[in-house]
Amino acid sequence: MRSAKLMLAVVSIAASASLVACGSSSSDGASDTAAAPVNGAEKAAAKTSKTGKVSANNAPESELVAALHAAGVPNPDRWAHEVIEYRPYAADDTKLTSLRKNLAKHKPGEKTIDKIVSALTVP
């Protein structure tokens, strides 16, 4: 199921890139195409790149995946699912200690846990 979603996202991004590359230009040579995100995955990536971190409590899975991917987390889909699984996180748990403990049960390694937490914030 996830691989089908991933394939759909890849195809959507590729199609969007093709459309942008084929965009029209005005008579002065400037492009009329907008650089705005086209689908959910692109919107998530755009939002993540601006803030660097996403809410551990409120971010949708697509934003979590994009943020974890940007942080260099291996298998970001799986870890985004785990972040969602253990919600909500206390506002005063700014170091996400409870998430760290829960993730440690899966033995991802300390570096991976650090990367996951570095991409998240608790508002």
Enter the pTM of the model: 0.61
Task: Quick: pLDDT tens for 72-82.
Answer: 999 999 999 99
Domain ranges for the chain: 2-121
- Phi then psi for residue 120, to 5 deg, are -120, 155
Residue 51: what pLDDT? 52
Give the SS3 label for residue 4: helix
Tell me the mean pLDDT in the region 93-104.
96
| Residue with the two structure tokens 């650090």 | 114
- Phi then psi for residue 110, to 5 deg, are -60, -40
Cα 97 to Cα 117: distance, rounded to the nearest angstrom: 9
Specify the range with the lowest mean pLDDT, choosing from 3-7, 21-25, 70-74. 21-25
Question: Hey, how many other C-beta atoms are within 10 angstroms of the C-beta on 65?
Answer: 26
**Distance from the first to the final alpha carbon of the chain:** 31
Cβ neighbors of 70 (< 8 A, separation 6 or more) are 45, 48, 49, 119
| Mean pLDDT, the chain, integer | 74
Cα 20 to Cα 95: distance, rounded to the nearest angstrom: 40
Tell me the mean pLDDT in the region 76-93.
97
Peptide bond into 88 cis (omega under 30): yes
